[in-house]
Structure 1
């Protein structure tokens, strides 16, 4: 019996020591949060395999083509994990073989991208800041992390007609390498900012966002949308009219965690969801101490493995027009969706390729056929 109690005491001591080590090592300051209520993969988000029809291109040229944009020169551009931004030629929704060429290497990690009115490629670089790349490939830093310690993770960008650059900062606490800690901590320190090229002024417009991610301006720049990955919702800031300066929720209760968002310029916002909501994190919403201990583990061990493909298209009122999914793993961890010339182009942080498929029928069109 004495041996049993001694062994039990040793085990308890080891567990205590291990927990103490995790607690001390953890950089997290977790807070209690309310997990979003979602209908799951049902109703407007019913599971399907429509995304399995995608065609894969640029295989093994690089890892993680996170965003894809079309330039004024007619070429498409995407950025890779190793800092390269590559352009390639497209005809009728097909990549012309052998056309992919390195445009520039930022020396960082290019994520969201958009062209401005002068033909410059504006890049949200997770390591270098907010960049402007001229048509000749000259890189100019617009917003440098070194000049503003509160900036930790610039993620996505869009450009208004007046030249104002809107961009997101995921967190004031964590960067790209340990981004998962921001989702586990749930302290919601993300922000929506703007940069005015004529004055060089940076302004914070929204704070307290739970993992601020994709950014997209609406029709006539009347509002700007920003995805909150950790909250599974899309928030909106009104820029014009009687509601100017007011923020509200465009859509909430998404069954996935939204990444980038883009506007087709007419009537659809495309939202990429690289993963379904983490049931593990949600189950610990009321247990910050346990999440504090999890923060003592290496960040990569906390990243969920999710090979699900998920894309939705929203109307101007936030209603679901398109619902494209696939569990087959053909193309997954989708981080961007951009519509050009009757096709939608998909980017991914995890895939070694880009994907494209013809613009699908809307929910209303499918129902009218049936």
Structure 2
């Protein structure tokens, strides 16, 4: 059951702006998972798709439709990061940060942070020296009731580092539902704040800089493509009613949260991905509301193939990308 009492924190969102799509989100074909909710999708070094499903399975999907179960994490896998040695790092909502070896052995790398159990680990990357960085979205809500975090806006997301010797350090606190995470060639980290409608950069010297601000939707998982672009899943457009409520006294949000679910502000059905250069220039903004796919929570590109995953779909979508990106 969701919490009946949210703890609202006032926030004045930037005025919404939207230049509109540059092209259509077109599903060319699908890769069946045999399950539900491929929340994050990534390519491994062989070109296979790695994803996790709601029943705890970690999968490898071949381009021709083959499907192999790598392991059962015993929890709910979210963010995945295939490693060059064939292992996969997994942010498991229930169990923490895991490493799954090529033979399917599941190892718990981090299950407590700052003296408390690690919950809602969201996305993960690894450096060449074995350093691991990962995000946690919220310390107050679970996946099923994650919208509670959007309503109260208490900002309990984190960016965390695990050193090769196992030392765990929280680098950033108070993030607005920290989510997608990408390590870029200059050594900095790009991280999405879903509830802040933005992507920021954590520099190697510890500085935090804007990357893209005031997005027209909720950014989710991200990945760096072989095309050099930052691909960003947009789970839903911003909700005008929620934007109006966030700066107002919290009682109004508390009342809205306790309405029947059918009457609360809700996400507009859409399938949506964006892609940016590493200097923040928009290249792709692909959307559809035709119902062919929806609630896109991840996107990845490899050798010209773009795939999308969803918390609510059963299959991974392979997209038909416009030949001429926007200038």
Range into which the TM-score falls when normalised by the shorter chain = over 0.9
Distance 1:144 1:181 in 2: 23
- 2:189 matched to which residue of 1? 224
1:206 aligns with 2:169: no
SS at match of 1:259: strand
Q: Normalized against structure 2, the TM-score is what? A: 0.92
SS at match of 1:85: strand
After superposition, the Cα gap between the structure-2 partners of 1:302 and 1:140, relative to the gap in structure 1 and judged at 3 Å, is: farther
- 1:279 matched to which residue of 2? 240
SS at match of 1:275: strand
2:50 to 61, 64, 77: 77
SS at match of 1:260: strand
Q: Which moved more, 1:127-136 or 1:176-185?
A: 176-185
- 1:4 matched to which residue of 2? none
**Cα distance, 1:75 vs. partner?**
2.6
After superposition, the Cα gap between the structure-2 partners of 1:101 and 1:265, relative to the gap in structure 1 and judged at 3 Å, is: closer
After superposition, the Cα gap between the structure-2 partners of 1:117 and 1:87, relative to the gap in structure 1 and judged at 3 Å, is: closer
Give per-residue Cα distances to partners, 1:250-279, cap 9 Å, x unaligned: 011111100001112553100000100122
Give per-residue Cα distances to partners, 1:329-360, cap 9 Å, x unaligned: 21111111101121111001111111112443
1:186 aligns with 2:153: yes
- 2:60 matched to which residue of 1? 87
After superposition, the Cα gap between the structure-2 partners of 1:157 and 1:199, relative to the gap in structure 1 and judged at 3 Å, is: same
Which sections of structure 2, spanning at least 5 residues, go unmatched?
Answer: none
The number of aligned residues is: 324
Give per-residue Cα distances to partners, 1:165-200, cap 9 Å, x unaligned: 11111112222122111110011111111112x211
- 2:214 matched to which residue of 1? 253
**Cα distance, 1:303 vs. partner?**
7.0
Distance 2:166 2:178 in 1: 22
After superposition, the Cα gap between the structure-2 partners of 1:77 and 1:300, relative to the gap in structure 1 and judged at 3 Å, is: farther
Q: Which moved more, 1:300-309 or 1:277-286?
A: 300-309
1:363 aligns with 2:309: no
- 2:270 matched to which residue of 1? 308
Q: How does 1:239-250 map to 2 (within 5 A)?
A: 239=204, 244-250=205-211
- 2:130 matched to which residue of 1? 163
Q: Normalized against structure 1, the TM-score is what? A: 0.82
SS at match of 2:317: strand
Give per-residue Cα distances to partners, 1:226-248, cap 9 Å, x unaligned: 10000100011101xxxx21101
- 2:295 matched to which residue of 1? 333
2:230 to 241, 249, 269: 269
**RMSD across aligned positions (CA):** 2.2
Distance 1:171 1:334 in 2: 20
After superposition, the Cα gap between the structure-2 partners of 1:162 and 1:298, relative to the gap in structure 1 and judged at 3 Å, is: farther
Higher helix share: 1
| Larger-Rg structure | 1
Which sections of structure 1, spanning at least 5 residues, go unmatched?
Answer: 1-21, 91-95, 365-370
1:151 to 118, 122, 135: 118
Higher strand share: 2
